[in-house]
Structure formats: structure tokens, C-alpha cells
Structure 1
Amino acid sequence: MVETSSSPGLGLLLGGVLLLLLAGALLLWLGARQRRASGLPAGRIVYDDSGGRIKVERPLYDSTLGLTGKPDYVIKQGETLIPVEVKSGFAPPRPYEGHIFQLAAYCLLLQRLTGNRPSYGIIQYRNRSFAIDYTSELENELKALIEEIRYQERRGQAGRSHQEPARCARCGYRSLCDQRL
């Protein structure tokens, strides 16, 4: 008579493998949940200037337009790049015009640097996100705004556009500005 007995080591091994599979599934589920909560779209993060995992050495730059920018994230979905700008405040009923143009500038920079035009970008507020289509119309409005800013700079007449002392305090031109609040 042949006696078969299961080895206690085999049971432990199978139990360990099962435990690892469950832990892996839990980590995947938690990661997907965290991504959904963050408002970031599915895809791989290829650029992160949020102060998190990846230190960005240089901003995006286009010498033709004299335009520089650092989106908080760029997500890659296939060959498509999606810029994401994170704002710390609560969402207004619709995104502020300045935030839309900032996001459009990131779309334009990504298009110039990669040759691939983003179809949209995302503005993520604390409680809500907005997907903003990067249309030809928005691109043309952005280019006109850039040209107007350059024109005002050349004339020396680029005036302050608000009455917000807190905004002035965070401005990169504060030390040079004769109109600061």
C-alpha cells in the first residue's frame, strides 16, 4: 500500500503565495482608488512637478514663443499626453479664465516639444476637476494673449490686472513691480 501525505511545507508555501496574491490585489485596488480620488486620469505619470515622487529638472520651454511652464502632472495615455494643473482651492462654478489659459499654455508647450497635440487637459481643484478641450480656437486665443502681453511689455505698459494683495505677494515680479499692493 502506498501512503500519500501532504507536506506541511507545501501547505505553507501555497498559503504564502495566496497571501501575496491577496496583498497584491489589495495594493492595486488601493492605487486605483487613490488615483480616482486625485482626479488624475488613467495612464502613466511621465512628469510630476507637484513636489512628489519625481523631481523635475527643467520646465517645458518654447524659445519661439518665449513661453515656459511647469504643469503639476503630465499623464501619458498611449501616445497622448495630458497636462494636469492642480489648484489648492475649491472649484468655482466654471474654471477661471486664467487657469484655462495656463492649461492651454501647457498643451501648446507639449505640442511644440513632442509634435503631438493634446486633445484636452485637466484642471483639478480641491473638490472637482474640469476637462478642458484644447481646441484650435483656444490655441488662437492663447497666442493672441501671448502677443498682447509681449506688446505691453515692449511698450513698458504692462499694468497690474487685479486688486488682490495676496496675489501680489506670490508674484514672481513683485520685487520689480512699481504697482504692487
Structure 2
Amino acid sequence: MTTVQLGLLLLVVAGLFFLLSRYKAHQSGLPSGKIVYSDNRVFQSLPRPLYDSALNLAGKPDYIVALKDGTFIPVEYKSHPAPDRPYDSHVLQLTAYCYLCEISYGRRPPHGLIRYADKTFQIDYTPQQESVLIEVITAMRSCECQSVFPNRSHHQTSRCRACGYRSLCDQRL
């Protein structure tokens, strides 16, 4: 094989790797940008949770991507197939991550992403979404102070086992 042929072969292989990496990046559901926060050990050591002392709210999004314009976008991965529309609980979780990104990075994200196994939803982070988040957190804190807990909304023992209120709950499975 001549030097020219070897050079062409290497160029073709490099092109194939480039196309494969673009395909994988698209498949990941992550926007183009730099991953600045990752709740796994692949990109960095496990980070501290984002925290807001005013709401006493902490959370660890799966990823936060910094876009070229300085915007931070939280991304939450779900391993199961996408529903027709994102579950309200997933939207509220992502809203909390958007709120925590704004508190932590000083810039309000315009949206966040929920990535299911087969589909990505972009959820706008609006003042209305933020108000709902604060209302829900306030209601939860009120219930905790009064030792009043909502009725169980499922029949899954695995969810009960993982629940932070398990020891206090009279409805656990």
C-alpha cells in the first residue's frame, strides 16, 4: 500500500468516526455545548447537589449543558420509553432543576430537556412553571410540619421501599 493510499484510507476512517460521533451525539438527546455538570462518573467525579437555601431545595440533574451563549440547560434522563406527553412529576422535577440552575449559575435557563429512551421533550421554564414549583414545595413543607402526608398514589412496593417518608407512612406497601 502506498503512502497516498494509506493517507486516503486514514482520511476515510477518520470521516467515518466523525459521522459516528455526530450520530451518537444526536442520539444522546443532549444539546450542542459543553457538559458542565454530570450526575455520573463518566464526565467528572460526582458533583455536589445544586442547592437553594431560600427554598431548602437540593437536586442533581443528570446533566447541565452550557451553550455557547452562556445559557445553562438541565437535562434529565429517563430510561423508559416516552409517554405521549411528559409526566407532570417529571416536568416538576425538571422545573426544580431549572430553578436550581438559575440560583447556582445566575442565569435563567429558557428551558430544560427530559430525555426518554426514544424521545426528548423540551420544557419551557416559564414564570408560571416556577410559581407551580414554589406552590408545591410550600404545600409539601406545610404537610411535613403538620405530619400530614398525601394518600399513596401507586401500588408499587419498590417505590415505597425507596420513599423518604417510608418510616412515617401508614400506607406503605
Q: Aligning the two structures, in what range does the TM-score lie when normalised by the shorter sequence?
A: 0.7 to 0.9
Count residues with an aligned counterpart: 171
Residue in 2 aligned with 1:5?
none
Residue in 2 aligned with 1:81?
72
Between stretches 171-180 and 53-62, larger displacement belongs to 171-180
Residue in 2 aligned with 1:96?
87
Q: Secondary structure at the match of 1:56?
A: coil
Q: How does 1:22-101 map to 2 (within 5 A)?
A: 22-78=12-68, 79-101=70-92
Contact 1:168 1:180 in 2 (8 A): yes
Q: 1:168 to 1:29 in 2, by over 3 A?
A: same
Give a deviation string over 1:17-49, Cα, whole Å, max 9, x none: 555544433332211110111211111111111
Contact 2:39 2:62 in 1 (8 A): yes
Indicate the percent of aligned positions where both proteins have the same amino acid: 45
Residue in 2 aligned with 1:151?
142
Deviation at 1:89, TM superposition (A): 1.2
- Distance in 1, matches of 2:33 and 2:6, equals 31
Q: Secondary structure at the match of 1:151?
A: helix
Deviation at 1:129, TM superposition (A): 1.1
* Corresponding letter in the other structure for 1:48: S
* Corresponding letter in the other structure for 1:74: I
Superposed CA RMSD: 2.1
Gaps of 5+ in 2: none
Between stretches 87-96 and 165-174, larger displacement belongs to 165-174
For the pair shown, the structure with the greater C-alpha radius of gyration is 1
- Distance in 2, matches of 1:163 and 1:118, equals 32
Task: Give the TM-score of the pair, scaled to structure 2.
Answer: 0.88
Gaps of 5+ in 1: 1-10
Contact 2:91 2:123 in 1 (8 A): yes
- Distance in 2, matches of 1:62 and 1:77, equals 23
Contact 1:159 1:179 in 2 (8 A): no
Q: 1:179 to 1:27 in 2, by over 3 A?
A: same
Between stretches 37-46 and 162-171, larger displacement belongs to 162-171
